[in-house]
Amino acid sequence: PREVIHVQLRCGPLPPLDRTGSFPGVRAVTVTLESVLADLGTAVTQFVPRLVGAAVVILVALLVAILLRRLTARLLGAMGLDELFERTGASNTLWHLGYDGGPSRLLGQVLFAGTILTGLAGALSVLGIASLEQTIDGLVNLSGRALVALVILIAGVMGAGWLSELVAREAAAAGLRGSRVFQRVTFATILTVSGLVAASQLGLETSILVLFAIVIFATIGLVAAVALGGGLVNLSANIAAGSYVREGINLGDHISVGDAEGTVEEIGHAAIVVRSEDGFLYRIPNRTLLEGIVRKRAG
């Protein structure tokens, strides 16, 4: 015969219903969910306008950055900055650093990055993210310093190129040999000073660099003084005599000095150039004109 086992389950009495007709636990969960949804809705309502504002700020910053990059590249290119870098050889430095574009394009890229970082800082400020905002502010400050340092370097390169060409031209006109050496030394000196100023703008310690530069330039000056001492004495004598020569000789005068005779075509700082009737050019130092006998055709 089969045995039948009866199991009797005993349940306690159900909790009483509250005034709304529901159990207290269900009511608590419902209240919690409603509170969470309300807070979420409030957060979304407050965040969406900020998000839209941040997007607008970034979009405006992007448009301004693109415009500044193009205008800067075109303006500096029209000013001849790229050509100056090519003539002075400064573009080779950028090429060795891994950048094959011109300085105009480089400055435009820096302006682009700085404007974008400024836009990001503004967007984070709109969103109210304080931690990231401080980081972006630091990057914006650094990019601003980098931009100023780059402008100083570019201005230094432009000034160095102009002054080095002027020194080379005047040295050649004065009859001094090694005008290319003077040009390169002038360019390197001005560029070094510009680099030190730019480094200090970035907050770098430049005292050691300044001391190192002083030692290098002092050595170069000493070597140049020893190597060119005799030539500089003769050059200074010719330059000093030039002021007296120009008082009595003008362009177009027909003069005769020793075996040279012809028409004066050029009056330089250290010498004059005379063209003879058969087309030969004679370069006569000013000191020779001052100390020798000069025959000048009246007229």
Low-confidence ranges of the chain (pLDDT < 50): 1-2, 6-7, 9, 12, 14, 17, 23
Tokens of 160: 């160095």
Predicted TM-score (pTM) of the model is 0.46
Domain 250-296 part of CATH 2.40.10.410: no
pLDDT of residue 233: 56
Do residues 296 and 249 lie in contact, with contact meaning Cβ atoms separated by under 8 Å? yes
Distance CA 107, CA 88 (A): 18
pLDDT of residue 89: 61
Query: Residue ranges of the domains in the chain?
Result: 33-158, 250-296
pLDDT of residue 252: 81
The residue whose two tokens read 């907050």 is 203
The amino acid present at 235, given as its one-letter code, is L
In 3-state terms, what secondary structure has residue 6?
coil
Tokens of 56: 């607008």
Tokens of 106: 């480089």
pLDDT of residue 63: 92
Report which of 264, 262, 266 is spatially closest to residue 280, judged by C-alpha positions. Answer: 262
Distance CA 175, CA 152 (A): 34
